[in-house]
Amino acid sequence: MTDTPAVGRRERKKAATRQAIADAALELFLEHGFERVSVRDVAEKADVSTTTLFAHFPAKEALVFDREAEVEAALTAAVRERPAGQDVVEALRAHALTSWVRMASDPRRDGFTALVEQTPALREYGERMWMRHAGALGAAIAAELGRETDDLACSALARFVLEIPSLATGRHHSRATVETVFDLLIHGWQSSRHGSGDRPAPAHSPKDTPRPAK
């Protein structure tokens, strides 16, 4: 009785419908597998028409990744509202470590993670999902640095950072992955010639034909 918090009944119902669809989808996918469940099944279980389902989600794969909007908001917020004096890249690293690594190691998400990693269509969709945010992130970075909105270096940095989740899948130590890739981004490939690295000639090299040119 106390609050009419500016969100009307309509909006609430819409959100509820959306949530019902996403919940139904995840449950069915987890139980039977993504490709063995049709969108009609999902719509059925959520008690809506398939038309409605597609009014809320642009594709079957999107049913699994609700939350895109929030993820992008968090991403740009991480650079825009970073602690005073903090480097943009540093802010991104911090965000990656707190948000992504934490999420990856949350046991409640194990089923979800397994589902995505075992379903090619979902892995692919997930990777593209990250890249869809590259524009927004690049623009945010550029804005912070006072460069043109489509500044190449900023766009590139955004894309590279957003490759990290994809690079991390299938690797055990996701924290170390984040750290390593950020080191590479900050200091460049040049400095990454650690111990074992970059003396292509000495060890085994029959592969150095002195002058092929072309």
Partner DNA sequence: GCAGAAACTGGAATGGTTGCACTTATTGAC
Partner DNA sequence: GTCAATAAGTGCAACCATTCCAGTTTCTGC
What residues make contact with a copy of itself under the rule CB under 8 A? 80-81, 83-90, 94, 124, 127-128, 131, 144-147, 152-153, 155-157, 159-160, 163, 166-167, 171, 177, 180-181, 184-192, 196-201, 203-214
Report the interhelical angle of 152-168 vs 120-132 (nearest 10°): 150
Binding residue (CB under 7 A) for DNA from 24, 28, 29, 60? 60
Q: Does 8 bind DNA (CB under 7 A)?
A: yes
Could you give the C-alpha distances from 103 to 55, 62, 99, 158, 165, in angstroms and in order? 28, 19, 6, 20, 11
Candidates 78, 106, 99; CA nearest to 165 is 99
Shortest separation between residue 35's beta carbon and a copy of itself, angstroms? 16
Shortest separation between residue 23's beta carbon and a copy of itself, angstroms? 28
What is the per-residue DSSP string for 4-57? --S--HHHHHHHHHHHHHHHHHHHHHHHH-GGGS-HHHHHHHHTS-HHHHHHH-
Shortest separation between residue 188's beta carbon and a copy of itself, angstroms? 3
For a copy of itself, which is the closer residue by CB, 45 or 147?
Answer: 147
Q: Does 45 bind DNA (CB under 7 A)?
A: no
Angle at 38 between CA 36 and CA 39, to 5 degrees: 150
Contact residues for 24 (Cβ-Cβ < 8 A; gap 6+): 42, 45, 46
Stretch that binds DNA, among 53-61, 90-98, 110-118, 127-135 (CB under 7 A): 53-61
Q: Does 10 bind DNA (CB under 7 A)?
A: yes
Shortest separation between residue 28's beta carbon and DNA, angstroms? 11
The span from the CA of 138 to the CA of 56, in Å, is: 27
Q: Which residues of 142-176 are buried (b: 16+ CB within 10 A; e: fewer)?
A: bbeeeeeeebeebbebbbebbbbbeebeeeeebbe
59 touches which of DNA, a copy of itself, none (CB within 5 to 8 A by kind)?
A: DNA
Binding residue (CB under 7 A) for DNA from 48, 92, 154, 168? 48
The span from the CA of 15 to the CA of 211, in Å, is: 66
Binding residue (CB under 7 A) for DNA from 2, 51, 190, 196? 51
For DNA, which is the closer residue by CB, 57 or 100?
Answer: 57
Applying CB under 7 A, the residues found at the interface with DNA are 8-11, 13-14, 17, 35, 37-40, 47-52, 54-56, 58-61
